[in-house]
Amino acid sequence: MKKILTVFGTRPEAIKLAPVLLELQKYPEVESVICVTAQHREMLDQVLNLFGLKPNIDLNLMRPNQSLGDVTAKVVHEMERVLELEHPDVVIIQGDTTTVMATAIAAFYKKIAVAHVEAGLRSGDLFSPYPEEMNRRVVSMVASYHFAPTKRAVDNLMKEGISEDRIFLTGNTVIDALKLIVTRPAPEEVKRILGLVGCDGTCSSKKLILVTAHRRENFGDRFENICRALRSIVENNPDVVLVYPVHLNPNVRQPVEKILKGAERILLIEPVSYDVLAHLMQKSYMILTDSGGIQEEAPALGKPVLVMREETERPEGIEAGTARLVGTDEKNIIGEAERLLYDKKLYDSMAKAVNPYGDGHAAKRIVDVLRRNI
């Protein structure tokens, strides 16, 4: 029997790996072991419960105010111990978090094959997003299996000299996860949130803008610009309501509460479970975000995305017309949002563009490759 160890630490990793883990459960000849570092404790547990996944190993490494060095050192140290105990044939990791990079290093030290889900993303700037761009480049150096979500990601890997027979174009597993969730009935929490901003079940009477913003490289002045822009968009447009699940990080909470708290038609809520977020996306008119995953998910639901970052490692959405890169300049964010509110032709062109990130069958392609090769 072959053993596959899947390691993750944050909510986005869990969401994108859940379809792979559920697919692995279909094959009794594969022993699937789940290890979590709990880099995001509360948010991670929500996703595990949502998909019915139970970790075999929980390292519970999250501590307040840890530096990137602290997290890296702890993950490498603990993962070496786990790898010695489990002796997996392959380690699956996803994306570009510090957990991912440190796990890849630990597996490399033990000469264990690494399978990297969502391989090949590149922004071209080592410090943006920080530290994710460096993390994913490190992982690509040591991985044996590179599961690329798009053709551009394949091209990026080949330009770096990675052998073509180790690169597999799969699509993005986040589309698999999203399709699993939105086919379920909307949780009661969604109806409660919509009610608080005066939306009916379909939000036909209001234009709901959903916001997610929490990127490290936006902390400080950029984040204050984003918050001022959000406030102005709502103040300028009486038919707009805004819902913002606010990340737990104090660097996010402080400017959000200072600028947006108490503003009319702006609802600040605690972070929501993935199923609630997916259904809020489905009900929204458009989405303003600095998140990576939502740039991929929203087009699958026909929702235009404005990306509040200076660059993105997901240019496929920009090129396909499903997303627009608006940066963090206050006036630019306001202008681009208001264009989408009033230019129906522009809105329809974005809402109806073909999603470049996949068809919802990425997990099966990934598991098929691993079953053939390990």
Active site residues: 96, 118, 132, 214, 216, 247
Beta strands in 137-215 (DSSP E): 145-148, 167-169, 207-212
The total of other beta-carbon atoms located within 10 Å of residue 179's CB is 18
Dihedral Cα 146, 118, 214, 324, nearest 10 deg: 120
Kind plus residue range of the DSSP H or E element containing 323:
strand 323-325
- 38-44's contacts with Cβ under 8 Å and 24+ in sequence apart are 38/9, 38/62, 39/9, 39/10, 39/71, 39/97, 39/98, 39/99, 40/9, 40/10, 40/11, 42/248, 42/271, 43/10, 43/11, 43/248, 43/271, 44/8, 44/9, 44/10, 44/11, 44/14
What is the spatial distance between Cα 360 and Cα 19, in angstroms, rounded to a whole number?
Answer: 9
What is the spatial distance between Cα 185 and Cα 254, in angstroms, rounded to a whole number?
Answer: 34
323-325 and 305-307 as β-strands: parallel, antiparallel, unpaired?
parallel
